[in-house]
């Protein structure tokens, strides 16, 4: 849930990048961290890495500065994608305000995409949330592999299994090259802020 | 401009935020990340011809702050090498996750890794499920022949198990050093497992310090026996020189001799009393689920009262024995005469109907899931829900006409695993069992099926418990509700009807059903 402190004039929102293992969640944050203006982002924290795998989570706070007198921050989190780290994912999802589901274009990862999506639904229910209630967009990552010899899915196939009911925005991306990374970030940030403003600022007026 | 007025206008605020987002959230330089090594390549420098073509950013720049456990990096070296090898294979398109490997070393490594993860979550919050999972993992690791053969490792794991047991039984008494001590124990275990050599002197020292930390975490969770000053004084008077005992809940037979030495006479008496307390605890634990079930089953009020009384008696005896351990040997004040009470308060005349007003009985559930079905608001117990969601079109089509429904129809793709879609008891079944399951479909009443408007979001609901199941097509998706005091509950007078009772709030009525009550309507048809 967004942290809104009207006396201190602070608004902090939480966006979680979710998806199966090795789909590019951490790469998204790494790209944002390294490519973005230093003034807008704080230090990126990576808790407990095992080599290059995220074992706990990554956190990248982004500072939008003072807007209408409010100090607005957006905190980007990733979760470990491997199946055995479900408890961590559930913990990191607590208080989420916006979601980016990162799916993998690789054909061999298709089942992982679907399992991760179902896992997301289940974990949200644990926090009395549903995908229909909070802002969510999709990022189909590794689109740079589509026209190579590596077997990949098509956008339509991924949309059919993941986005059929939600019908939300989809961004194709190649996170290692930065393609689609900032577009995804901008869209989810805007949606999250709109959601938070509507939900919390309206009721506190 | 008046800042106060600005801040109360969400539209203006949102617009300003969005324009700031457009301004700030963009790349200020061109970079590329190496997918294998994670190194950051600055393309803007490359284009201007400055610097080498592959300029590697410093470690601080790429990942400026990594929070690690002490000595974690060195301990993880062997696993890291295995991961990188697997990663390279993965990048070429073959799916060869570490989880698929079958070697014992990899299994042990996975178990340790999983335990590490659970202990990290326990540092954030003490969750009963996590504590139980951690304890099971510790015991599994302890059963590993390689670990069992090492006396130090075995002892370390026993102590960790004791701390976790204390966490499960008395989380409120767990000192903050408990999770830290567990993490220390795990680090020492990792060092010992991956060094693969005979313990060095340094490792022996590590063992000793980890054991000391674990023992102090156990020692600090001593229950009423030592936490109450009066009891402690009484014990010291009776048994001078006695040292503090750990709680009964953290004692294990194999490690009792590791606890501080105690007077033998007191030891024998205390052990006997504690074993009786444990048995009483187990009995109470067995009665609790039965009592809860009876509380929410209409017509079982007398049996519920009977169970409650038995539970009360057992708890009273447990209290008496616990008091005896503190040196107070008198019976509890006001212990009721249960024999007399039994005949007076619990008449076993089951044919006599008692009038129970709706205000007297509270709803047996604290939380329910609600949806629209058959032209009414209906609620189900969350623990009965095995699946709730939008199923593929071939599953939804014709559901209103089918008598039975095969769970495998929930698959969206031929390779979809139904197990991952299931909740509750069914999520523990194997895939091969799930694809064979077929449950009856509960149809809507004839009057409503003709008039009901197709919803934009029909939800297939699968209820299941103890090999029984039922499928319904709900008109809306499920929502969770918490049953607060604002709800009034009225159990259903009809024993074989579909509803166990009705909830009412603000003139809205919600009919509550369980799997059994709905199944009754099928058998009665």
Q: Which pLDDT value is given to residue B51?
A: 43
Could you tell me the CATH number of the domain that includes residue A86?
3.40.50.300
Domain membership of residue A133 as a residue range: 3-200
Instruction: Tell me how many domains chain B contains.
Output: 3
Question: How many whole angstroms separate alpha carbon A151 and alpha carbon B176?
Answer: 50
How far apart (Å, rounded) are the C-alpha atoms in residues B164 and B509? 45
Instruction: Check CB contact under 8 Å for A36 and B66.
Output: no
* A67 pLDDT more than 60: yes
Q: Is A55 part of the contact surface with chain B (CB cutoff 8 Å)?
A: yes
Q: Give rounded-to-5 percent helix, strand, coil for chain A.
A: 35, 30, 30
Report DSSP state, residue B452.
Answer: P
Residue B149 falls inside a structural domain: yes
The values of phi and psi at residue A171, to 5°, are -120, 130
pLDDT band at B409 (very low <50, low <70, confident <90, very high): confident
In a domain, A100, yes or no: yes
Half-sphere exposure of A196 (CA within 13 A, CB side): 28
Global pTM value: 0.42
Write down the residue that tokens 């009207």 correspond to.
A6
**A173 or B177, higher pLDDT:** A173
Q: Which of A115-129, B45-59, B451-465 has the highest mean pLDDT?
A: A115-129
Closest chain B residue by Cα to residue A36 = B27
Provide the pLDDT for residue A155: 93
pLDDT tens digit sequence for A19-33: 998 899 989 998 998
| Residue B38 near chain A (CB below 8 Å) | yes
Strand partners of residue A12: A3, A73
B372 lies in the same domain as B519? yes
How far, in Å, CA of B14 to CA of A3, rounded?
16
Pair B190, B235 in one domain: no
Tell me, yes or no, if A5 comes closer than 8 A to chain B by beta carbon: no
pLDDT at A103: 95
Q: Is residue B313 part of a domain?
A: yes
B93: left (phi over 0), alpha (psi -120 to 50) or beta: left
Over pLDDT 70: what percentage of chain B?
A: 64
Residue B167: pLDDT band with limits 50, 70, 90: confident
- Token pair for B320: 């008496």
Same domain, B385 and B322: no
pLDDT band for A88, please (50, 70, 90 cuts).
Answer: confident
Question: Could you tell me if A47 lies within 8 Å of chain B, comparing CB atoms?
Answer: yes
Query: Predicted confidence band at B351 (pLDDT cuts at 50, 70, 90)?
Result: very low
Task: Report d(CA B217, CA A49) in Å as an integer.
Answer: 28
| Domain extent for B440 | 367-524
Q: Residue A187 pLDDT more than 90? A: yes
> Which H or E element spans position B244?
none
Number of neighbouring beta carbons within 10 Å of residue B240? 8
For B80, the closest of A51, A114, A115 (CB atoms) is A51
DSSP per-residue letters across B297-328? STT-HHHHHHHHHHHHHHHHHHHHHHHHHTT-
The verdict on residue B189 lying in a domain is: yes
Q: Is residue B55 part of a domain?
A: no
pLDDT at B105: 63
Asked if B95 has any chain A CB less than 8 Å from its own CB, the reply is: yes
B2 touches chain A (CB under 8 A): no
- Total domains in the fold of chain A: 1
More confident position, A107 or A46: A107
Segment B71-102, tens digit of pLDDT = 333 333 333 333 333 333 333 333 333 334 44
Q: What sign does the CA torsion over B444, B447, B448, B451 have? A: positive
pLDDT digits (tens, 9 = 90+) for B424-437: 888 888 888 888 88
Q: Which of the listed residues B221, B238, B267 is the one where a domain comes to its end?
A: B221
Mean pLDDT calculated for residue range A120-138: 91
Nearest to B25 among A50, A85, A186 (CB): A186
Is residue A59 within 8 Å of A25, Cβ to Cβ? no
In a domain, A205, yes or no: no
Cβ-defined contacts of A40-44 (< 8 Å, 24+): A40/A64, A40/B24, A40/B25, A43/B64, A43/B65, A44/B63, A44/B64, A44/B65
**Chain A neighbours among B 286-315 (CB < 8 Å)?**
none
Domain assignment present for B78: no
CATH of the domain at B156: 1.20.120
- Predicted confidence band of residue A18 (pLDDT cuts 50, 70, 90): very high
Say whether pLDDT at A45 is over 80.
no
Does the distance separating the beta carbons of B10 and A198 come in below 8 Å? yes
- Provide the mean pLDDT of chain B: 70
Given B188, B221, B254, which residue is the final one in a domain?
Answer: B221
Same domain, B169 and B147: yes
Arithmetic mean of pLDDT, A89-114: 91
Residues B248 and B136 in one domain: no
Residues B315 and B254 in one domain: yes
Residue B201 has pLDDT above 80, yes or no: no
Tell me whether residue A174 is in a domain. Answer: yes
Q: What is the CA radius of gyration of chain B?
A: 31
Chain A and chain B share a number of CB contacts under 8 A equal to 197
Q: What is the mean pLDDT of residues B301-314?
A: 83
Residues B377 and B520 in one domain: yes
Q: DSSP 3-state assignment of B500?
A: coil
Question: Which pLDDT score, from 0 to 100, does residue B111 have?
Answer: 83
Q: Is the pLDDT of residue B103 over 70?
A: no
> B394 and B330, same structural domain?
no
Report the alpha-carbon distance of residue A44 to residue A75 in Å, rounded.
Answer: 10
Alpha-carbon distance values, A135 to A202, B271, B330 (Å): 17, 58, 63
Closest CA to B106 of B85, B71, B82: B82
Tokens, residue B210: 């980890």
Compute the Cα dihedral for B56, B59, B64, B66 and give only its sign: positive
Cβ pair A197:B17 closer than 8 A: yes
Q: Quick one: angle between helices A25-35 and A181-196, nearest 10?
A: 90
- Give the pLDDT of residue B331: 54
What's the average model confidence in pLDDT over B301-327? 83
Examine the domain organization and report whether B274 and B371 are in the same domain. no
Of B503, B497, B460, nearest to B481 by C-alpha is B503
ipTM: 0.85
CA distance B62 to B60: 6
The model's confidence at residue A171, banded by pLDDT at 50, 70 and 90, is very high
pLDDT value of position B76: 33
d(CA B474, CA B455): 9
Q: What is the mean pLDDT of chain A?
A: 85
Report yes or no: A85 at the B interface, CB cutoff 8 Å: yes
Interval B232-285: pLDDT, tens: 444 444 444 444 443 443 333 334 444 444 455 667 778 888 888 888 888 888
Phi and psi torsions of A100, nearest 5°? -120, 120
Distance from the A81 Cα atom to the nearest Cα atom in chain B, whole angstroms: 12
* Least confident segment among B332-336, B379-383, B404-408: B332-336
Task: Tell me the pLDDT tens digit for each residue of B433-478.
Answer: 888 888 998 887 755 444 444 455 678 899 998 778 999 888 888 8
Q: Where are the alpha helices (DSSP H) in B176-228?
A: 177-195, 201-219, 224-227
Q: Does B477 contact A150 at a Cβ distance shorter than 8 Å?
A: no
User: CB–CB of B311/B284 below 8 Å?
Assistant: yes
Nearest residue of A to residue B416, measured between CA atoms: A111
Q: Which three-class secondary structure state does DSSP give residue B47?
A: helix
Task: Let me know: does A51 contact B80? Beta carbons within 8 Å.
Answer: yes
Provide the chain A residues 97-116 that lie in CB contact (below 8 A) with chain B: 106, 108-111, 114-115
pLDDT band at B197 (very low <50, low <70, confident <90, very high): low
Tell me if chain B has a CB within 8 Å of the CB of A176: yes
Residue B323 predicted with pLDDT over 70: yes
Contacts 24+ apart (CB under 8 A), A89-92: A89/A18, A89/A119, A89/A123, A90/A123, A90/A126, A90/A127, A91/B121, A91/B124, A91/B125, A92/A16, A92/A57
Is the pLDDT at A61 greater than 60? The verdict is yes
A77 touches chain B (CB under 8 A): no
Q: Report CB contact under 8 Å: B32, A27.
A: no
């Amino acid at each position: 849930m967004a942290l809104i402190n009207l006396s201190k004039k602070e608004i902090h929102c939480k966006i979680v990048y979710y998806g199966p293992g090795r789909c590019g969640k951490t790469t998204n944050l790494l790209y944002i961290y390294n490519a973005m203006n230093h003034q807008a982002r704080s230090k990126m924290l990576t808790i407990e890495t095992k080599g290059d795998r995220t074992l706990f989570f990554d956190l990248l706070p982004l500072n939008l500065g003072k807007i209408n007198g409010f100090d607005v921050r957006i905190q980007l989190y990733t979760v470990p994608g491997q199946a055995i780290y479900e408890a961590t994912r559930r913990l990191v999802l607590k208080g989420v305000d916006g979601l980016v589901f990162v799916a993998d274009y690789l054909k061999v990862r298709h089942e992982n995409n679907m399992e991760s999506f179902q896992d997301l639904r289940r974990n949200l229910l644990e926090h009395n949330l549903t995908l229909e209630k909070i802002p969510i967009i999709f990022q189909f990552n590794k689109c740079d592999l589509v026209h190579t010899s590596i077997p990949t899915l098509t956008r339509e196939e991924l949309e059919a299994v993941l986005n059929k009911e939600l019908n939300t925005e989809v961004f194709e991306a190649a996170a290692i090259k930065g393609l689609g990374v900032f577009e995804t970030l901008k869209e989810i940030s805007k949606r999250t802020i709109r959601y938070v403003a509507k939900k919390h600022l309206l009721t506190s007026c | 401009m008046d800042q106060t007025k600005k801040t109360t206008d969400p539209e203006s605020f949102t617009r300003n935020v969005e324009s700031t987002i457009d301004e700030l959230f963009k790349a200020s330089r061109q970079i590329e990340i190496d997918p294998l090594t994670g190194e950051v390549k600055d393309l803007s420098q490359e284009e201007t011809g400055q610097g080498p073509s592959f300029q590697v950013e410093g470690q601080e720049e790429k990942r400026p702050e990594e929070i690690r456990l002490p000595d974690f990096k060195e301990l993880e070296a062997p696993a890291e090498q295995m991961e990188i090898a697997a990663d390279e294979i993965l990048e070429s398109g073959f799916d060869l996750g570490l989880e698929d490997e079958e070697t014992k070393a990899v299994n042990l490594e996975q178990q340790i890794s999983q335990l590490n993860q659970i202990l990290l979550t326990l540092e954030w919050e003490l969750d009963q499920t996590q504590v139980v999972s951690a304890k099971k993992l510790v015991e599994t690791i302890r059963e590993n022949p390689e670990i069992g053969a090492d006396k130090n490792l075995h002892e370390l794991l026993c102590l960790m198990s004791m701390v976790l047991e204390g966490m499960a039984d008395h989380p409120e008494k767990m000192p903050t050093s408990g999770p830290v001590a567990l993490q220390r124990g795990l680090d020492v275990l990792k060092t010992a497992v991956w060094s693969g050599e005979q313990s060095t002197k340094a490792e022996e020292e590590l063992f000793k310090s980890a054991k000391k930390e674990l023992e102090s975490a156990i020692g600090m969770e001593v229950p009423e026996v030592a936490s109450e000053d009066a009891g402690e004084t009484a014990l010291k008077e009776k048994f001078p020189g006695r040292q503090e005992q750990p709680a009964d809940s953290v004692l294990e037979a194999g490690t009792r001799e590791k606890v501080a030495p105690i007077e033998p006479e007191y030891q024998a008496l205390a052990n006997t009393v504690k074993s009786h307390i444990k048995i009483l605890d187990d009995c109470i634990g067995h009665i609790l689920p039965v009592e809860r079930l009876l509380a929410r089953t209409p017509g079982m009020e007398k049996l519920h009262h009977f169970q409650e009384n038995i539970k009360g008696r057992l708890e009273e005896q447990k209290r008496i024995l616990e008091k005896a351990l503190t040196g107070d040997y008198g019976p509890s004040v006001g212990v009721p005469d249960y024999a007399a009470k039994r005949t007076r308060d619990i008449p076993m005349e089951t044919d006599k109907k008692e009038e129970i007003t709706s205000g007297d009985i509270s709803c047996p559930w604290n939380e329910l899931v609600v949806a629209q079905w058959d032209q009414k608001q209906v609620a189900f117990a969350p623990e009965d829900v095995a699946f709730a969601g939008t199923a593929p079109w071939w599953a939804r089509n014709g559901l209103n006409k089918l008598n039975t429904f095969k769970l495998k129809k929930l698959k969206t793709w031929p390779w979809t695993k139904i197990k991952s879609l299931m909740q509750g008891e069914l999520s523990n079944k194997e895939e091969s069992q799930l694809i064979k399951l077929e449950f009856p479909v509960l149809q809507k009443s004839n009057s409503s099926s003709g008039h009901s408007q197709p919803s934009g979001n029909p939800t297939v609901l699968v209820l299941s418990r103890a090999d029984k199941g039922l499928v319904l097509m709900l008109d809306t998706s499920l929502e969770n509700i918490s049953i607060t005091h604002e709800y009034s509950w009225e159990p259903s007078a009809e024993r074989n009807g579909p509803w166990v009772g009705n909830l009412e709030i603000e003139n809205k009525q919600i009919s509550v059903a369980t799997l059994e009550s709905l199944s009754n309507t099928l058998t009665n048809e």
